[in-house]
A and B are shown apart, each in its own frame.
Chain A
Amino acid sequence: MKKAIYNSRWYVLAALVLILGIVPLMGDQYLLFFCMLFFLYLALAQMWNLLAGYSGLISLGQQSFVGMGGYVVAVMSNYYGVYIWLGVLLGGVFSALLGLFMSLFIFRMKGVYFAIGTWIFSEALLIWFSNWEYTKYGMGLFIKPNPNISMTEIYYASLIVGVGSVALVYGILRSKLGLGLMAMRDDEAVSETMGVEVFRSKLYCFLIGAFVTGSTAGILYIFQVFIQPYKAFAIDWTVKLVFIVIIGGIGTLEGPIVGAFVFVLLSQTLAEYFSVSMLILGAIAILVILIAPKGIMGTLQEKLGFEILSPRRK
């Protein structure tokens, strides 16, 4: 029975993606909005998971790439009239370049210093952008898509980054890089003497994470229409991603999927109690950490003994 379910997993997943693909045809605007948010948060969280769950990089500065991706789309659409999806891609490219620049400084740091280093960069960017005439200081910028695009298009872009992020991390884990990551996770020093290029592997993941986070943020800001430094570079972003990954199951591919669903569901339900919604989310996170420290999917995998999207070699 278990085996039958396992063997049919690709069909089930394909069917699921197909159903999600026809959501825009269903005509339910709320469902469309809900699924879009789900995909965007999934992509952002999957990247934080790639760093924290697989590469040993605890980043508290993913908002640097959220802000960069959003601002690149805003600037490109506003000042240069660049084709909107090209702008999204450029947002990813600029985020990766920012990541490369950051790495010159923070990759000398380890553990908590790395975390703080990434955070400091975000704060510096916040100050920079809120004092920069080019980006209209703290007032922010509108995003003027060229050409005008529909909600359906934004939805499909979200679907691509959401599903794409899962496929990407799955692909990484099945590759040479991923094999090295899993060895590093168990014992970094030993993996190095077995030929794993630890520094390079971490850098690749950091840059991939920056690229996907930046482009995802671009799509998110096209939907939001408006970008301001105080929101774009706020640590709230990373806090949300940590929440999603922790409750879903860090270091599992399925964790961020479940986590993102729970998060979007909760944050939408709690939207009217905005002031307490963060408190409730925090309480849930603590509860999950106490009851099931491996998160929902991590605990299920342990109990049931199989992973749906397994990076294991046989």
Chain B
Amino acid sequence: MALLEIKNLHVSVGDREILKGINLSLNGGEVHAVMGPNGTGKSTLSNVIAGRAGYDVTQGEVLLDGKDVFAMAADERARAGIFLAFQYPVEIPGVSTSSFLKTAINAKRRAAGQKEIDAMEFLKLVKAKTKALGMADDMIKRPLNVGFSGGEKKRAEVLQMTLLEPRVAILDETDSGLDIDALKVVSDGVNALRREDRAFLVITHYQRLLDYIVPDHVHVLVNGRIAASGGKELALELEAEGYAKYQGAAA
């Protein structure tokens, strides 16, 4: 059984259909890349899987370990192991990054019947992970994402992923806004998490990311449909030729 199974997924906003029958199957250990022009539904797909309100699922299903994801609230999905690294992480004034991280870690622990993380253990853990991601020590004292630069926000997303150890991680353009060095650091962070029982869905516009996080499969999402799938060489082809041929086919 696939870890995450997306079957014939149709999603509308208002009376406009945005996803028009998506099929994707992610097995443990795999990295799938999704590429596609602006506005074709990549973030919609990630939001719907993570449980954001405002989308109508008109057909299809998403299964995590065979279980119906749409039957779960967003917070339950996260605790079950779905993680979305946001394309645009929100700023939350007044909530310190560290108390947010601790709350999130404890939510997961409680759901798993474990005891809460103790203060020392938490500090040690966070310190090690922030260091690995090249983040400043005092970052976690600041309000969540407030005043973080674009790259800092993306690193913070990866930090959260690292701490929450998801089963399925969806990275929505985590590479955009990162400088060349940061791209490497963040990719190393992701690669370190690759495991037999974990899968990644990596949304990106740039082939460069896929030099670092080497995908097993690449999918082209155009106009709400998967127009093509292939190996990592498909990304190189897209980089060279653009989406014209798929857009033509879809029109």
A binds B: no
What is the interface of chain B, defined by CB distance below 8 A to chain A? Answer: none
Residues of A whose CB lies within 8 Å of any CB of B are none
